[in-house]
A and B are shown apart, each in its own frame.
Chain A
Amino acid sequence: GQSLEQPSEVTAVEGAIVQINCTYQTSGFYGLSWYQQHDGGAPTFLSYNALDGLEETGRFSSFLSRSDSYGYLLLQELQMKDSASYFCAVKEDDKIIFGKGTRLHILP
C-alpha cells in the first residue's frame, strides 16, 4: 500500500516564504510530484523530482530525499494568488497517488 502525509493547512504572509512538507511510504517509487489546485478548479502540475536534490522553477522549488522518503515544496515571494491547495503525489507503477493536500492561506 501507499501513504502520503502532508500538513492539512499552512498560513503565511504575502511576500514571505513557505515550505510544505511531504513524507511518503510506497511499495515502489519512481518520483515525487507537486500539484496546485484552486477552489473549483482542476489540479495543475508544478514540479517533479525523481532524483535527490532541489529543483527550482521560478518562485517554486521542490526537494526530494529518497533515503528519508521526504520531500518539500518551497514557495517564495508569496502572492495572494498562491492561495490554493497543494498536493504531493507519488508515481507508483502505472498510476499517480495523491496526498490529502495542504491548504495554503495567505494573509495580506
Chain B
Amino acid sequence: GAVVSQHPSWVICKSGTSVKIECRSLDFQATTMFWYRQFPKQSLMLMATSNEGSKATYEQGVEKDKFLINHASLTLSTLTVTSAHPEDSSFYICSARSGRGYEQYFGPGTRLTVT
C-alpha cells in the first residue's frame, strides 16, 4: 500500500526558532499534499493544500508567512514553522494523494513542542 513518512517524528525547539518538517511519499507520486494540525483531543484542522510545483493554498486563518510550505517534487513536501511560539505546539500531520483519486494517505505525524 501507499506509504507516507514524516521526519522528524517529534521535535522540541526554543521559542523564536524555526522548525522544518518533511513529508515524503515513499512508493507513489503525490501530486497533492495536505498539511493538518491537531491539538490534543481535537479534530484535524486543514492548514494548507499544496500541488507539486505551485504555491500552496492556505485555509482561512492560517498565516502563510509563518507556516511556509514547499512542494518541490512529487515525493516531498516540507512545512517550516517560522519564529515558533509555545502556542504552535501541536501534532502536525501530512497526507498525500496521487492524481485525482479520493483516498489520502496519512503520514505518522510530527509532534512539535515549543518551549
Q: Is the CB of A48 within 8 A of B102?
A: yes
Q: How far is the CA of A33 from the CA of B101 in the complex (A)?
A: 14
Q: Is the CB of B44 within 8 A of A87?
A: yes
Give B107 Cβ to nearest chain A Cβ, in Å.
Answer: 6
Give A68 Cβ to nearest chain B Cβ, in Å.
Answer: 22
Interface of B is mostly: loop
Within 8 A of A (CB), among B78-99: 93
- Chain B contact-residue range equals 10 to 19
Partner of B106, one of A42, A97, A101, A103: A42
Q: Is the CB of A41 within 8 A of B108?
A: yes
Q: Which residues of A contact B44 (CB under 8 A)?
A: 43, 87, 98
Q: Is B42 an interface residue (CB 8 A)?
A: yes
Q: Is B27 an interface residue (CB 8 A)?
A: no
Interface of A is mostly: strand
Q: Which single residue of chain A is at the shortest CB-CB distance from B60?
A: A1
Q: Is A44 an interface residue (CB 8 A)?
A: yes
Q: Is the CB of A101 within 8 A of B43?
A: yes
Q: Which residues of B contact A66 (CB under 8 A)?
A: none
A-B contact pairs, 6 of them (CB 8 A): A42-B93, A48-B102, A87-B43, A96-B46, A96-B104, A101-B42
